[in-house]
Amino acid sequence: MDLQALWLTLRLATTTTLVLLLIGIPLAYWIVLTHARWRPLVEAATTLPLLLPPTVLGFYLLVLLGPATAFGRTATRLLGHPLAFTFSVLVIGSVLYSLPFAVQPLAAGFRAVDPALIEQAQLLGAGRLRILTRILLPLSTHSLIAAAALCFTHTIGEFGVVLMIGGDIPGATRTLSIAIYDQVQDFSYAAANRTSLVLIAVALIALLLLYTRRNQPGANRSAPQQAKPKAGPKPGSAPQQAKTKTEKKPGSPHSKKQTPLRAEHQDNSVPAPSRKYCADVKIHHQQGNFALEAAISLTTPWTVIFGPSGAGKSTLLRILAGLVTPHEGHIQLAGRTLLETQSLDSKTSIALPPGRRSIGFVTQQPSLFPHMTVRENVAFGIRHQSNEPRAQRVAAMLELFGAEALAGRRPPQLSGGERQRVALARALAPAPDLLLLDEPLAGLDDASANDILTRLLSLNLRVVYVSHDLAEIWRIPGEVVLLEAGRVTATGPIKKVLAPRRDDLLRQLSL
């Protein structure tokens, strides 16, 4: 056994793997999230080494590093010796040749993360680096391990590139793969067999570690959380309040009697609504054959967006949140301009990103970060505060929704109602100017839905609320915007607008 070659091979594989992870993680992140026109070119370039013969890559590297090129002459002058036929050039060649084995598993892992988690992180003010380190990498651990294992094992078995740019210098560039070649050339088959078995053992151990990790329970923690469907109102039935009897579970926040929120809870919400917190919205958005035209002014604490499926309600909320940019529009909230477009060609003069709009957004799917505890979820959007005030804010938000007993649990351990309570606490923790609720109670039982809505109505909040449930809407003391086929057909007090059309609306919603 050539111990020098073994040590050099392990050193090369380890160095190459570390360099590839440092390069591959940001590159895969960019490939997954960018919309640049030249992204396909970058993806093709990173995949090209899989298709090229190793000798082609080795040949061009050898030419690039030679004295005939400016790069080669500069490298020789800076290092004091030619870069070719050194350990450093082995690392460069190995990094280029194994680049696809780092980028492709990482990109696949990042794409597998639920996009709603990334959107929630953006809404809570997280930048790209924080999304990468706190959301994508923790939820792509298996892909990270796979990339490291593939890069390590692939580098160990490299031959063509290594031989072309490094030659066969004992102790300097001779790796195990070249040592096997030399042993076969010398007809030392027994030695070649022993060296080959070492390579097989190292590769097998790396793959066993990879597949063992993948088969562990909870390896995929980014799957969307599903809620049980809730039966809607029967056609022709009169709007009525949901049942107030709560389901009692051991260890659940429902196991103790829920009382209306007292005045001292008001400090946990945003300031009381006033004209300063009104929102003016005027947008035009074309999506395929569907066009959304809306011009509304939110002047009451609660505004309900109501209409049949496909009317554009969710799209309107996503535009308000900054997750969708309309073709033309103007959005002003709390005296700040969030969006101001110039024309129908989507060239915006002002378009604040979601994290700078001071808007909370909760949908039917809570989209909690599955690898974090409830406490960590709620604290995620609280920035620029020391540990103690942040902890106090988190405790206040959890108490506000009767979820303080859940602080140490993770989302997979929660029921649908518990997850929704935590999602609301997380959205309100940064004290947003506006809270968007897109059917947040649609997947819950009547008891949980009633309790959550009661708590929300007791707060001083500016809320835009989307729901198909007339029983819920009838309890809200605010105004309604009736949206049909992307057009606003009526606005005004909820009961005044909806009561005359109750039977027709119920019939539309049941279709």
- Do 294 and 281 contact (CB within 8 A), yes or no? yes
Tokens for 63, please give them.
């030419």
Q: Enumerate the β-bridge partners of residue 383.
A: none
pTM, full prediction? 0.79
Tokens for 251, please give them.
């260890």
How far is Cα 80 from Cα 419, in angstroms, rounded to an integer?
62
Most confident of 85-94, 418-427, 487-496: 418-427
Please give the average per-residue pLDDT across 28-57, as a whole number: 90
pLDDT tens, position by position, 242-268: 333 333 343 343 433 333 333 333 343
Fold of 3-214: MetI-like fold (1.10.3720)
- Do 306 and 481 contact (CB within 8 A), yes or no? yes
Hey, is 365 helix, strand or coil?
A: coil
**Least confidently predicted of 31-45, 271-285, 294-308, 367-381:** 271-285
Please give the average per-residue pLDDT across 213-226, as a whole number: 54
Q: How confident is the model at residue 319 (pLDDT cuts 50, 70, 90)?
A: very high
Amino acid at 41: L
Q: How confident is the model at residue 334 (pLDDT cuts 50, 70, 90)?
A: confident
pLDDT tens, position by position, 347-367: 557 888 999 999 999 998 899
How far is Cα 285 from Cα 108, in angstroms, rounded to an integer?
31
The residues spanned by each domain of the chain are: 3-214, 267-358+432-509
Question: Sign of the CA dihedral 492, 494, 500, 501?
Answer: positive
Between these two residues, 22 and 168, which has the higher pLDDT value? 22
Does pLDDT of 36 surpass 90?
no
The DSSP 8-state label assigned to residue 234 in this structure reads P
pLDDT tens, position by position, 372-427: 999 999 999 998 788 888 999 999 999 999 999 999 999 999 998 899 999 999 99
pLDDT tens, position by position, 424-469: 999 999 999 999 999 988 878 888 888 888 899 888 889 999 987 7
How far is Cα 190 from Cα 200, in angstroms, rounded to an integer?
15
Terminal alpha carbon distance of the chain: 76
Q: How confident is the model at residue 32 (pLDDT cuts 50, 70, 90)?
A: very high
How far is Cα 25 from Cα 78, in angstroms, rounded to an integer?
29
Please give the average per-residue pLDDT across 274-299, as a whole number: 80
- pLDDT at residue number 204: 86
- Do 324 and 292 contact (CB within 8 A), yes or no? no
C-alpha dihedral over 247, 253, 255, 259, to 10 degrees? -90
Question: What would be the CATH architecture of the domain defined by 267-358+432-509?
Answer: 3-Layer(aba) Sandwich (3.40)
pLDDT tens, position by position, 174-190: 888 888 888 888 888 88
Please give the average per-residue pLDDT across 298-316, as a whole number: 88
Q: Give DSSP secondary structure letters for 126-171.
A: --HHHHIIIIIHHHTHHHHHHHHHHHHHHHHT--HHHHHHH---TT
- pLDDT at residue number 131: 95
Q: Enumerate the β-bridge partners of residue 437.
A: 362, 465
How far is Cα 425 from Cα 434, in angstroms, rounded to an integer?
14
Cβ-proximal residues to 107 (8 Å cutoff; 6+ apart), any chain? 28, 31, 32
pLDDT tens, position by position, 200-211: 888 888 778 777
Q: How confident is the model at residue 15 (pLDDT cuts 50, 70, 90)?
A: very high
pLDDT tens, position by position, 412-427: 999 988 999 999 999 9
Q: Give DSSP secondary structure letters for 292-315.
A: EEEEEEE-SSEEEEE--TTSSHHH
